């Protein structure tokens, strides 16, 4: 059993342990469901569980809920059908509420107000590029009824440190609060792991995998010959910036700037040169690609011309959407290839290594910003944009985002594992009967939702360059959410039963939301029926009843083109 999982005997309950001196100083709470992690999956799970009658306690390691859309400062990565299908009803409500928030509280131009599909930033990575704080405000409003009714308690700046296990069930999780400096013990009947790295899996002794599986294990054509648990997608410390022409906001030179200025990634196939450059590997072709960088210029190239202008990539405020004088500049998020951190992992490493790699990743992002201020080539032949300004108010910090953007988590060993053959377009073409028909992912009898995103893997700590493959609209199988052994633990974000390869499709915003919401409904259903979650898929009639419940909760279980 992995260290951290405290096994109780048949005669001792978790509460007995607490009262026998193990945690005398801890505060103790109890609810039907405990959710570890307040990212998009955790929020969706809390909404679903409370909507279905359960009481919930949700922890969050920062002071913002929302995960990648807020504390990590990553605007929604979504598919082209998101406005009308391919998401749950509650995710559509979230998107609508973001737009309504702007139309209610912001001085938009009349044209922007009338735009049904308002994109506040007009960034081309998403149809809804917006600042993290707006996402937090909307998510808080969505959770407010459950909090006010007493069904939901959110514990901020709280991390799990120990789990108490009996007979393949979690009885309680002990957490530490950065706000109070005290331990908190959370008792529950069901436990959902919605943390960014799958924190509850090692603490509970739940079987999991991390990193890259081998071809022999998965049969995937793009898996490596040998498994490598340490081969994990790069994480990124994002930041927000604007540009004030004629002003100088140059930051102090970062401590390790000279290292990063000269750093060339060692990847296979090779990276084309220095990381701090406007040239990088095209994610799909891996050929050398050069981009522009022009902040707030009127002569900025159109978004989808080549070379593209990275200023527009994840722009979260387009000043032209707002009345004159509202914003002196556009605001954009920097989540680029140039600040993907490749030199080490933060998951399943010792604490010292973790802290060192987090520091190095922060230094990389600050070095990229300093390089943009001082050395990036300008179209006029000059170098650097001194008017670039870190917008720490946008991220709610003193500089970068509150939390690194983590692409790859620990993943449960599940009753069913989603593999490349299930979702890659090249694999699924053989199943198309008629020319012109939509190519779809493997049909799952136990579908709990749908999603779509490319098989998009960023360069990895194991030395892989991009692996970016064309995928197809897919389903989320319930079997990928059921651990092989543990009876009252469910994954609620990107920690479901995917592989290193398929994680690239199942890790983005709307899919993470759907997974979390499905976990919340399943946990409440299991408590009502007094059955373990795996029982929901063991009999056809029971599975049908559960899927009917999901449909009543606003889920789409299959794509209907």
pLDDT digit string, tens, across residues 521-549:
999 999 999 999 999 999 999 999 999 99
Name the nearest CA neighbour of 361 among 389, 334, 390, 393.
334
Quick one: which of 373, 15, 337 has its CA closest to 164?
15
Query: What was the pLDDT predicted at 534?
Result: 98
Give the per-residue pLDDT at 296: 78
| Ordered structural domains, the chain, with CATH | 5-71+152-211+409-552 (3.50.50.60), 235-395 (no CATH)
How is residue 261 annotated by DSSP? H
Strands 235-236 and 489-491: unpaired
CA dist., res. 44 & res. 88, Å (int)? 10
**pLDDT tens for the 561 residues of the chain, in order:** 233 454 443 333 434 433 333 433 458 999 999 999 999 999 999 999 999 999 999 999 999 999 999 999 999 999 999 999 999 999 999 999 999 999 999 999 999 999 999 999 999 899 999 999 999 999 999 999 999 999 999 999 999 999 999 999 999 999 999 999 999 999 999 999 999 999 999 999 999 999 999 999 999 999 999 999 999 999 999 999 999 999 999 999 999 999 999 999 999 999 999 999 999 999 999 999 999 999 975 444 455 556 789 999 999 999 999 999 999 999 999 999 999 999 999 999 999 999 999 999 999 999 999 999 999 999 889 999 999 999 999 999 999 999 999 999 999 999 999 999 999 999 999 999 898 899 999 999 999 999 999 999 999 999 999 999 999 999 999 999 999 999 999 999 999 999 999 999 999 999 999 999 999 999 999 999 999 999 999 999 999 999 999 999 999 999 999
**Tell me, what's the pLDDT at 435?**
87
84: CB partners within 8 A, 6+ apart: none
Tell me the CB-side half-sphere exposure of residue 43, using CA atoms within 13 A: 28
> What CA–CA distance (Å, rounded) separates 514 from 559?
14
Q: Are 163 and 204 in contact (CB under 8 A)?
A: yes
CA 494 to chain centre: 7
Report the chain's terminal Cα–Cα distance, integer Å.
47
Please state, in angstroms and rounded to a whole number, the distance separating the CA atoms of residues 266 and 463: 6
Task: Give the tokens for residue 423.
Answer: 């979702």
- Residue corresponding to tokens 């309680």: 172
**Residue by residue, what is the 3-state secondary structure of 278-342?**
CEEECCCCCCEEECECCCCCCCCCCCCCCCCEHHHHCEEECHHHECCCCCCCCEEEECCHHHEEC
pLDDT at position 27:
87
pTM over 0.75: yes
Collect all residues with Cβ–Cβ distance below 8 Å to 124 and sequence separation of at least 6: 303, 304, 312, 313
d(CA 30, CA 32): 7
């Amino acid at each position: 059993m992995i260290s951290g999982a405290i096994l109780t005997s048949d005669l001792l309950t978790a509460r007995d342990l607490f009262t026998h001196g193990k945690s005398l100083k801890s505060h103790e709470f109890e609810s039907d469901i405990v959710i570890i992690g307040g990212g998009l999956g955790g929020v969706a799970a809390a909404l679903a569980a409370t909507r279905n009658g359960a009481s919930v306690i949700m922890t969050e390691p920062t002071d913002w809920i929302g995960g990648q859309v807020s504390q990590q400062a990553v605007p929604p990565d979504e598919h082209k059908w998101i406005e009308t299908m391919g998401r749950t009803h509650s995710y559509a409500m979230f998107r609508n509420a973001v737009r309504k928030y702007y139309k209610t509280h912001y001085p938009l131009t009349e044209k922007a107000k009338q735009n049904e599909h308002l994109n506040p930033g007009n960034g081309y990575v998403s149809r809804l590029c917006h600042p993290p704080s707006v996402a937090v405000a909307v998510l808080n409003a969505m959770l407010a009824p459950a909090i006010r009714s007493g069904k939901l308690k959110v514990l901020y700046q709280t991390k799990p440190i120990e789990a108490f296990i009996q007979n393949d069930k979690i009885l309680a999780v002990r957490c530490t609060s950065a706000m109070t400096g005290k331990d908190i013990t959370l008792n529950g009947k069901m436990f959902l792991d919605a943390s960014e790295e799958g924190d509850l899996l090692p603490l509970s002794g739940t079987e999991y995998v991390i990193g890259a599986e081998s071809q022999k294990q998965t049969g995937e054509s793009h898996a490596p010959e040998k498994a490598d648990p340490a081969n994990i997608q790069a994480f990124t410390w994002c930041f927000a910036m604007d540009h004030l022409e004629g002003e100088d906001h140059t930051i102090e030179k970062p401590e390790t700037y000279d290292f990063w200025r000269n750093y060339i990634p060692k990847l296979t196939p090779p990276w084309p040169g220095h990381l701090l450059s406007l040239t990088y590997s095209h994610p799909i072709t891996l050929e050398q690609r050069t981009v522009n960088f022009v902040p707030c210029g009127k002569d900025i190239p159109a978004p989808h011309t080549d070379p593209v202008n990275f200023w527009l990539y994840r722009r979260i405020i387009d000043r032209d959407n707002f009345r004159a004088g509202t914003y002196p500049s556009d605001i954009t998020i920097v989540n680029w290839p140039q600040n993907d951190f490749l030199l080490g992992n933060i998951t399943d490493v010792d604490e010292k290594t973790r802290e060192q790699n987090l520091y190095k990743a922060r230094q990389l992002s600050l070095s990229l910003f300093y390089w943009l201020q001082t050395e990036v080539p300008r179209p006029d032949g000059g170098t650097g944009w001194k008017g670039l300004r870190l917008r720490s108010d946008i991220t709610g910090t003193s500089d970068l985002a509150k939390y690194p953007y983590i692409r790859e988590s620990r993943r449960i060993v599940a009753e069913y594992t989603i593999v490349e053959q299930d979702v890659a377009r090249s694999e699924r073409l053989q199943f198309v009967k008629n020319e012109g028909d939509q190519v779809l992912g493997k049909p799952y009898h136990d579908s709990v939702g749908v999603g779509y995103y490319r098989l998009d893997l960023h360069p990895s700590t194991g030395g892989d360059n991009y692996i970016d493959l064309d995928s197809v609209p897919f389903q989320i199988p319930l079997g990928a959410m059921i651990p092989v052994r543990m009876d009252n633990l469910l994954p609620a974000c990107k920690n479901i039963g995917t592989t290193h390869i398929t994680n690239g499709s199942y890790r983005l915003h709307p899919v993470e939301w759907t997974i979390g919401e499905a976990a919340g409904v399943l946990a409440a259903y299991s408590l009502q029926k007094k059955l373990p979650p795996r029982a929901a898929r063991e009999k056809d009639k029971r599975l049908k009843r559960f899927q009917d419940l999901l449909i009543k909760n606003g889920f789409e279980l299959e794509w209907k083109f």
